Amino acid sequence: MTAGPGDAGERPAAARRLRIYYVANVRLPSERANACQIFAQCDALLARGHEVRLLAPRRRNRFSLADAEIARYYGLRAAPLLTRLFTIDLIEAFPPRLQRAPFVLQALTFAWAARRRLREDGAAVVYTRDPWALYFLARARDAPWRLFYEAHDLPGRAGQRRRLLDALERSAGVVAITRGLRADLVAGGARAADIEVLEDGFDPARFAALLDREAARARLGLDAARPLAVYAGHLFAWKGADTLVRAAALSSRFDVLLVGGRPDDRQRIEALARGLGARNVRLVPPVEPGRVPLFLAAADALVLPNSGRVAISARYTSPLKLFEYMAAGRPIVASDLPSLREVLDESTAFFVAPDDPEALRRGIERCLDAAPAAASAARRARERAVKYTWDARAERLERFLVARVPGGEGRL
């Protein structure tokens, strides 16, 4: 795949260099997609000449990766300045059903520490995707910063939604990752003019020297002849991996390879496959982000089996895997959902009814049987992917931020 703007070479000149504080209440580094997304967006903003300071909580972290290895692991051109702040982290001291209170305590103590640090530094541009940090920072009196929020979901409870919308009114701007999410924010009372839709993205450098199907399978030790459907990412229920396993159990024509997932989710999926007698399902533990394209290249079909039962999947998700699937140039089989149709259409994917294993089985087999049409759809998806690089997203984000920060504020 050809490199997109800002992938290499000269650093593009920013409209105005900003000092941006990204407040991220997540474990960093981690195996989660949110860490990949945060680091990738910070890297793209740095590449445009902005100074990016990443504030994260000091938490227990079983993801073993030294800070010096962050840039290599995530494929970053330059790691942002990462500062870990005080937080009371008791979440994992409790069983999952009792973690709500310690989670709120952790979120609020981190937000307090972030606010204190931002005041000390005289921060002018603050960006976050954490609703608790948003609540806390939006209510700060005489705050020296312009606050921006990146929305990935909407709270399910009415009271939480009201708090979110109240905080958004006090913010300088909102980024929504799908048009469906923007529409629901506006329906709840947010100002449409304050919301910019910016889908997630991918790193084209990882796909610049993509192996062909046969070479990828040889590298991975996979059967060269057996039709293969690949899923890469987390195995949460709303992402539909269970539906994919059930579809595999209904067919002897193809194998399924699932790459990623937390240990507990992999155990759940493995137990499901055993219970169904689905011997054509294989799971691979998470791999470094830079190795994911190798698994995608080995596929005859790449599967997005998202559930339609929850809004985060049906209307709000902008999956990183979607854009990597497109960049890989392999045929895509996807649940027919509004969130995915914001990027894909019939010319770039094979759509199936969500949450229906039989429909998914038929869709995968239809993709395998329609080789010319599948190749054409994959080619068009790859051509469309150039719109969704992290650098392209950063350029649009930069315009949005600069337009809402007064001329003298946030400038380096």
With 0.95 as the threshold, say if the pTM is over it.
no
| 213 token code pair | 């199907």
- Distance between CA atoms of residues 138 and 130, nearest Å: 12
Fold equal for 19-201+389-403 and 207-387: yes
Question: What pLDDT, on the 0 to 100 scale, is given for residue 62?
Answer: 84
- Distance between CA atoms of residues 226 and 141, nearest Å: 63
> Which pLDDT tens digits describe the chain residue by residue (412 residues)?
333 334 444 455 556 899 999 999 999 999 899 999 999 999 999 999 999 999 999 998 888 888 999 999 999 999 899 999 999 999 988 998 999 999 999 999 999 999 999 999 998 899 999 999 999 999 998 899 999 999 999 998 899 999 999 999 999 999 999 999 999 999 999 999 999 999 999 999 999 999 999 999 999 999 999 999 999 999 999 999 999 999 999 999 999 999 999 999 999 999 999 999 999 999 999 999 999 999 999 999 999 999 999 999 999 999 999 999 999 999 999 999 999 999 999 999 999 999 999 999 999 999 999 999 999 999 999 999 999 999 999 999 999 999 999 875 555 4
pLDDT digits (tens, 9 = 90+) for 196-233: 999 999 999 999 999 999 999 999 999 999 999 999 99
pLDDT digits (tens, 9 = 90+) for 99-138: 999 999 999 999 999 999 999 999 889 999 999 999 999 9
| Domain assignments of the chain as residue spans, ordered by start | 19-201+389-403, 207-387
| Residue 360 CA: distances (Å) to CA of 30, 172, 250, 342 | 31, 43, 10, 20
Helix (H) or strand (E) holding 301: strand 301-304
SS3 call for 325: helix
User: What is the rounded average pLDDT for all residues in the chain?
Assistant: 93
Domain range 207-387, CATH architecture: 3-Layer(aba) Sandwich (3.40)
Peptide bond between residue 29 and the one before it cis (omega within 30 degrees of 0): yes
% of the chain with per-residue pLDDT over 90: 89
Residue 14 gets which letter from DSSP? P
Q: Which CATH class is domain 19-201+389-403?
A: alpha beta
- Distance between CA atoms of residues 254 and 228, nearest Å: 6
